[in-house]
Amino acid sequence: MKLLGLFAGTALMAMSVTAQAEDKAAEGAKAQQAAGMEAMMMQMMKQQMAKACEDKEMLSCMEVTQAECNEMMDGVLNQCMAPNFSQLMAAQGMSQEERDALNAEMENCANGVSEKHGIDPEKAKSCSPNQQ
C-alpha cells in the first residue's frame, strides 16, 4: 500500500486505490463465503446420497451393491451437480422454462452417469423409495 501511495502522488489517488482494495477485499470475502456455502451444501447432498445408498430394499431392486450405488452417486454429485451449483442455487429466481431446462439437463447428466456405472436409469427411478 505504501508503494502505491508513493506512485500515486496525491491523496485523492491514494484514497481511490484504498477504496478499490476494500471493494476487492469485500468481493473476496463474498466469494469465500459463497465457496463455503457451496462446500457445505455439497457435503449435505453427499450425506443424503450416502444415506439413500444404505436403503437395502432399493439396492436389491436396482441389483447393485452399496459401494456401486455410492460410486454412482459421487459421479452424479461431481459431474452433474458441482459444475452447475450456482445455477441450482439460483433456481428459485428462474422462470419455469429455465427451471425445466435445468432439471432436464440435470436428469440427462444423472442418467448418463448411471448408465456409465451399469445402472439403468429407468430401473433406478422405479426403485427409488419416493416412487414406490
Task: Say how far apart CA 47 and CA 65 lie, in whole Å.
Answer: 17
pTM more than 0.85: no
Cβ–Cβ under 8 Å, residues 81 and 45: yes
pLDDT tens sequence across 20-55: 444 555 556 666 776 777 788 888 888 998 898 999
Mean pLDDT throughout 11-20? 40
What DSSP assignment string belongs to 26-74? HHHHHHHHHHHHHHHHHHHHHHHHHHHTT-HHHHHHHT--HHHHHHHHH
